Chain A
């Protein structure tokens, strides 16, 4: 009886994510026209582990190429993108990927997911197993 009780508690905790050490939150992709060659994604990466996490890339089944980019603005107001080869999230911290800043860039897409769909996108790490999440396709920021 006791064994069954603890099993139930463990199962509930696991399914509620209580043991999740790192997670993706507020994940979404900006809806773009079906002929669009690329689309951008945004999320918050929460690192509740006791080690720094080194994020190195991303992948999605519908995209032949996925990269992490950063948009920066110079003194003349000119914006430019650069490839983020890796980014470290300290233990206990989170990192936001938001419009006009760090973002996920999906390219060479077989098909462009439409608003309302929730395709799976995975993030890759140097020192952690891939984290995958459902990214909701939206017209506007949540």
Chain B
């Protein structure tokens, strides 16, 4: 091979590498920054599943998956708990869960006492913090996050709640960055959480 041929080969190789890099860059969409929701959210203080006062701001520096429900709800709430737990476990498998915290707020403090939440939540194996409190305090938190819940007398003898069921993704400053419906895509939430770590 003479010098001219060697120069041409090297030049072609560089063109190919540059082309491949450009193609890869075009194919891999950069993670889009999630907008800050300025209408919802804010700090609050309730009682955690250990019976201790707990402020959301104590989780600054962690990404929070916040959701609401009640343990006597048989259909939607256990499904949401299971899905949020799966998000957490997927992140844990990827070594990305150290600064991720699922937080469950009940709007049924009469039955969802700290003790009951302490027995109920560990089953989901997702290190979920359960929060309860008095009704006005929970109502205030619900208003902050645009959660609607109404207590109704259930046909089964106990109370039921009609309620909205959004899941809130909070960044490390406690700001709402995204809302998801109850049947959210697990991979989507995992990917969104990673953009905030």
Residues on A lying within 8 angstroms of B by beta carbon are 30, 32-40, 65, 67, 69, 71, 74, 76-81, 83, 99-100, 103, 105-107, 139-140
19 A-B contacts, Cβ less than 8 Å apart? Answer: A30-B79, A32-B78, A33-B121, A37-B158, A38-B73, A38-B156, A39-B78, A67-B156, A76-B148, A77-B165, A78-B150, A78-B164, A79-B164, A99-B76, A100-B79, A100-B182, A105-B74, A107-B74, A107-B156
Looking at A35, A71, A106, A140, the one whose CB has the most chain B CB atoms below 10 A away is A35
CA distance A37 to B79 in the complex (A): 15
Contact between chains at B76 and A38 (CB < 8 Å): no
CA distance A81 to B158 in the complex (A): 13
Residues on the B chain within 8 Å of A80, using CB: 150, 152, 160, 162-163
Residues on the A chain within 8 Å of B121, using CB: 33
Q: Is B154 an interface residue (CB 8 A)?
A: yes
Residues on the A chain within 8 Å of B116, using CB: 35
Contact between chains at B75 and A76 (CB < 8 Å): no
Knowing A83-B155, A100-B183 are in contact, say whether A71-B166 is a contact too (CB < 8 A): no
Residues on the A chain within 8 Å of B152, using CB: 80
Contact between chains at B71 and A69 (CB < 8 Å): no
CA distance A83 to B183 in the complex (A): 23
Given contacts A37-B71, A79-B164, 13 further A-B contacts (CB under 8 A): A30-B82, A36-B78, A37-B72, A38-B73, A79-B76, A79-B163, A79-B165, A80-B163, A99-B79, A100-B182, A103-B74, A139-B82, A140-B82
Closest to A76 in B: B148
Closest to B111 in A: A37
Contact between chains at B74 and A35 (CB < 8 Å): no
Residues on the A chain within 8 Å of B166, using CB: 77
Which chain B residues numbered 53 to 89 have a C-beta less than 8 Å away from chain A? 71-76, 78-79, 82
Q: Is B184 an interface residue (CB 8 A)?
A: no
